[in-house]
């Protein structure tokens, strides 16, 4: 028995997706890693929406977002949608490693200025009890560890429960979130990055950015694992 457990210890961990091949990067084997839907090509320089040619998308021209920059390395489609749902709703926390790895790799590849602090999208205590895990905070801690950037997952507070964003239209999403977040400390002149799993309309990212800017942040960037097309 001792021999078998030693062998298990020496065998490289298996891929979280296919459970067949050995791990290559951030929990995935080489085949599953290169099959991820990375967003290549041109993106809107404000919101990260995929565009035919480089520039600013029509929506951002009409209504510029309140954050400075966004990084969304993956498209929210198979198998990324399944992975992020498993993390969010079924507490399969090993997928947070993959999400954080993708975000950290992208931050290093972009080589932009190092932020002062990472933070996460907060949940109310009630919502956290119901779901059991704040995936945004979980991913933020792992990104912080990978990049050596400080994180404060309690920097923001959610002041009230809101309707689930995914059930609302874009306009209602914006209204649903007005003045829903507060920042617990002054951020005078600091460069803050908000970490989240998915970006859909950007309503949450926008409202959090406003809150951080009102608290004195000089720059707010958004780093998500995936964005919907
Ligand atoms: Zn695999
Ligand atoms: Zn845009």
Domain count, the chain: 1
pLDDT reading at 109 higher than 80:
yes
Q: 83 alpha carbon to ligand 1 midpoint, in Å?
A: 13
Read off the pLDDT of each residue in 163-167 and give the average, rounded to a whole number: 72
Calpha distance 85→11 (Å, rounded): 29
Note whether residue 9 is domain-resident.
no
Q: What is the pLDDT of residue 51?
A: 83
Compute, in angstroms, the gap from residue 21 CA to the centroid of ligand 1. 5
- The alpha carbon dihedral of 63, 65, 69, 70 has a sign of negative
Across 193-204, average pLDDT: 92
Mean of pLDDT values over 2-17 = 70
Task: List CB contacts of 7: < 8 A, sequence separation 6 or more.
Answer: none
Query: Whole-model pTM above 0.85?
Result: yes
Lowest mean pLDDT across 51-55, 83-87, 90-94: 51-55
Ligand 2 midpoint to CA 64 (Å):
8
Q: Do the domain assignments include residue 90? A: yes
Using the predicted structure, report yes or no on whether residue 214 has a pLDDT greater than 80: yes
CATH of the domain at 113: 3.40.50.2020
- Decide if 14 is inside a domain: no
pLDDT reading at 3 higher than 60: no
Residue % of the chain over a pLDDT of 90: 68
Ion ligand 2: residue ranges with CB closer than 5 A: 44, 46-47, 49, 57, 60
Residue 6: predicted pLDDT: 60
Residue 106 is predicted with a pLDDT of: 94
Q: Which of 6-10, 37-41, 69-73, 214-218 has the lowest mean pLDDT?
A: 6-10
pLDDT top residue among 60 and 41? 60
11 inside domain: no
Q: Specify if 13 maps to a domain.
A: no
Distance, in Å, from the CA atom of 37 to the CA atom of 130, rounded to the nearest integer, reads: 31
Q: Which of 85, 82, 69 is nearest to 35 (CA)?
A: 82
Residues 131-159 have pLDDT tens digits of 999 999 999 999 999 999 999 999 999 99
- Residue 1 near residue 39 (C-beta atoms within 8 A): no
Whether residue 25 lies inside any domain: the answer is: no
Q: Using pLDDT thresholds of 50, 70 and 90, give the confidence band for residue 128.
A: very high
Within a domain: 5: no
- Vertex 83: Cα angle to 155 and 94 (nearest 5): 65
Task: Yes or no: say if 79 and 33 are a contact pair by the CB < 8 Å rule.
Answer: no
Among 16-20, 79-83, 161-165, 198-202, the range scoring the smallest mean pLDDT is 161-165
CA of 39 to the centre of ligand 1 (A): 20
Residue with tokens 């995914």: 166
pLDDT at residue 229, as a whole number: 76
Mean pLDDT of 99-121: 95
In a domain, 198, yes or no: yes
Residue 80 has pLDDT above 90, yes or no: yes
| Model pLDDT, residue 8 | 56
pLDDT, average across residues 157-181: 81
Length of the chain: 229
The whole domain housing 93 covers 38-227
Task: Please choose, from the candidates 170, 168, 161, 177, the residue with its C-alpha nearest in 3D space to the C-alpha of residue 210.
Answer: 177
pLDDT of residue 154: 96
Cα 53 to middle of ligand 2, angstroms: 12
pLDDT value, residue 1: 46
């Amino acid at each position: 028995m001792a021999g078998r457990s030693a062998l298990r210890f020496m065998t490289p961990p298996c891929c979280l997706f296919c459970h067949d091949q050995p791990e290559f990067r951030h929990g995935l084997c080489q085949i599953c890693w290169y099959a991820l839907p990375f967003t290549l090509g041109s993106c809107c320089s404000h919101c990260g929406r995929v565009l035919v040619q480089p520039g600013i998308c029509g929506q951002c021209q009409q209504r510029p977002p309140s954050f400075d920059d966004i990084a969304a390395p993956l498209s929210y489609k198979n198998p990324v949608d399944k992975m992020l749902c498993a993390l969010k709703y079924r507490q399969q926390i090993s997928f947070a490693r993959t999400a954080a790895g993708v975000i950290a790799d992208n931050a290093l590849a972009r080589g932009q200025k190092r932020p002062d602090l990472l933070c996460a999208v907060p949940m109310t205590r009630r919502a956290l009890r119901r779901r059991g895990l704040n995936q945004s905070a979980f991913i933020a801690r792992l990104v912080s560890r990978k990049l050596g950037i400080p994180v404060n997952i309690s920097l923001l507070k959610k002041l009230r429960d809101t309707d689930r964003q995914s059930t609302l239209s874009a306009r209602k999403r914006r209204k649903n979130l007005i003045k829903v977040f507060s920042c617990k400390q002054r951020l005078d002149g600091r460069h803050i990055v908000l970490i989240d799993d998915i970006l859909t309309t950007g309503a949450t990212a926008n409202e959090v950015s406003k809150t951080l800017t009102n608290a004195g942040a000089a720059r707010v960037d958004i780093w998500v694992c995936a964005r919907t097309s």
